[in-house]
Amino acid sequence: MGRRVLLIEDEPNIIQAVSFILSRDGWEVRTHSDGATALRAIADSAPDLVILDVMLPGLSGFDILRALRADPANVGLPVLMLTARGQERDRELAERLGVTRFMTKPFSNAEVLAAVRELVGA
């Protein structure tokens, strides 16, 4: 059972909240805040799950997701996209690009924890 998650997010409050929720549940949480180097961070940390913001410096979460899904090694990597951009077109684009789950901010702690557990079969 996977217990490593990489949170790619640039808002300190979200980083702190999600890290706390998941760490308390026994997850090893690594964080990264720069879209331009996020793909390298994913390769380096070999997570069981990626939590990805849409609006990031460097590259957007959509760009990162597109690149992840283009790499055969990451096709099956679960990606939970957390975003303040909850418009239907954003959700549709994320789904076309291969997101595993899409969640809008604000979110509840219970929602995030349940989604993470579901995505890795925990």
* Tens digits of pLDDT across the chain (122 residues): 459 999 999 999 999 999 999 999 999 999 999 999 999 999 999 999 999 999 999 999 999 999 999 999 999 999 999 988 778 899 999 999 999 999 998 889 999 999 999 999 86
The domains of the chain are located at 4-120
- Give one DSSP letter per residue of 5-64, joined into a string: EEEE---HHHHHHHHHHHHHTT-EEEEE--GGGHHHHHHHH--SEEEEESS-SSS-HHHH
Q: What confidence score (pLDDT) does residue 122 get?
A: 65
Q: Which two tokens stand for residue 24?
A: 């308390």
Q: What confidence score (pLDDT) does residue 6 get?
A: 98
Do 75 and 67 touch, CB atoms closer than 8 A?
A: no
DSSP 75: T
Q: Does domain 4-120 have CATH number 3.40.50.2300?
A: yes
Edge-to-edge strands, sheet with 79-83: 28-32, 4-8, 49-53, 79-83, 101-104
Q: What confidence score (pLDDT) does residue 49 get?
A: 97
